[in-house]
């Protein structure tokens, strides 16, 4: 596990990141919906695809934006295109980052406020089998420098054995055990593409 320091967030990095995120979601749309079928309503891939398409269009419209405008555009696209549970959560995450980014561009600090936003918006805690179970451990990896694809995969995998207590999967109770959480998976893609975009030195 490579111990690497994270890059500061810039407009270029963010744009590259969103391009790669688009590709990853596009590639895995069916898989995300499949994950959402046994424990949800089978639309997470479609929802996210609408979202990243909106992000692409939103960013294309911006002329020489600063980081705040960039993050805000991402947030608004996600909020207005995704719908469902994941839309407000991803949207809030980027909105919180936009609010904070004039103060700091350190990924760990921005992801920390994003995670707080997600928790506040959705009320989920760690262990509830949601995207929080990827965001929370990953944010922690920044402090000990263990942020990496391995850690991301581990976090995503960890949702498999959990019993859902938030979102649609919670209606299944115990029967939700044994399935990966789709929102955890898409959050995994988000962090992986951050790495691929050069988010670590």
Partner 1 sequence: MKQMKKIINSPQDVVPEMVDGLVRSYPEYLERIPDTEAVVRSDKASMKGKVGIVSGGGSGHEPAHAGFVGKGMLSAAVCGQVFTSPTPDQIYKAIQAVDQGKGVFLVIKNYSGDVMNFEMAKDMADVDGIKVKSIIVDDDIAVENSLYTQGKRGVAGTVIMHKLVGAAADQGASLDELEELAKNALPHISTLAVALSAATVPEVGKPGFELADDEIEYGVGIHSEPGYRREKIKTSKKLVGELITKLDEQQHLDPEKQYAVLVNGMGATPLMEQYIFSHDVLDKLAEKKIKPAFMKVGNYMTSIDMAGISLTIFELTDKKWLEYLNYSVETVGW
Q: Which residues bind ligand ADP (CB under 6 A)?
A: 36, 40-41, 43-44, 47, 84-86, 89, 118, 122-124, 130-132, 166-168, 181-184
Q: Is 42 in the site for partner 1 (CB under 8 A)?
A: yes
Pick the binder of Mg ion from 20, 25, 40, 78 (CB under 5 A). 40
**84: contact with Mg ion by CB under 5 A:** yes
> 86, 41 in Cβ contact below 8 A?
no
Q: Which two tokens stand for residue 35?
A: 């994950």
Sequential DSSP letters for 137-201: HHHHHHHTT--SHHHHHHHHHHGGGPPP-SSGGGGGGGGGTTS--HHHHHHHHHHHHHIIIIIB-
Q: 45 near 141, Cβ under 8 Å? A: no
Q: Does 28 bind partner 1 (CB under 8 A)?
A: no
Q: Which is nearer to ligand ADP, 6 or 155 (CB)?
A: 155
- Is 181 a binding residue for Mg ion by CB under 5 A? The answer is no
Judged by CB under 8 A, which of 15, 100, 119, 168 binds partner 1? 168
Strand partners, 200: 6
Which of ligand ADP, partner 1, Mg ion, none binds 165 (CB below 5-8 Å, type-dependent)?
A: partner 1
Q: Which residues of this protein are in contact with Mg ion, per CB under 5 A?
A: 36, 40-41, 43-44, 84
């Amino acid at each position: 596990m490579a111990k690497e320091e994270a890059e500061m967030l810039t407009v270029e990095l963010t744009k590259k990141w969103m391009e790669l995120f688009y590709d990853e979601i596009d590639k895995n749309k069916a898989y995300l919906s499949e994950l959402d079928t046994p424990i949800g309503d089978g639309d997470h891939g479609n929802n996210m695809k609408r979202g990243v398409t909106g992000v692409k269009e939103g960013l294309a419209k911006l002329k020489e934006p600063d980081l705040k405008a960039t993050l805000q555009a991402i947030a608004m696209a996600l909020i207005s295109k995704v719908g469902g549970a994941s839309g407000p959560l991803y949207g809030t995450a980027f909105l919180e980052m936009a609010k904070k980014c004039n103060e700091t561009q350190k990924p760990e600090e921005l992801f920390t406020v994003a995670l707080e936003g997600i928790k506040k918006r959705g009320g989920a805690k760690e262990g509830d089998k949601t995207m929080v179970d990827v965001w929370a451990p990953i944010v922690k990896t920044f402090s000990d420098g263990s942020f990496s694809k391995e850690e991301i995969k581990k976090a995503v995998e960890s949702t498999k054995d959990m019993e859902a207590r938030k979102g649609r999967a919670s209606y299944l109770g115990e029967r939700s055990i044994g399935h990966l959480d789709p929102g955890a998976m898409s959050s995994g893609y988000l962090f992986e593409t951050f790495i691929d975009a050069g988010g670590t030195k």
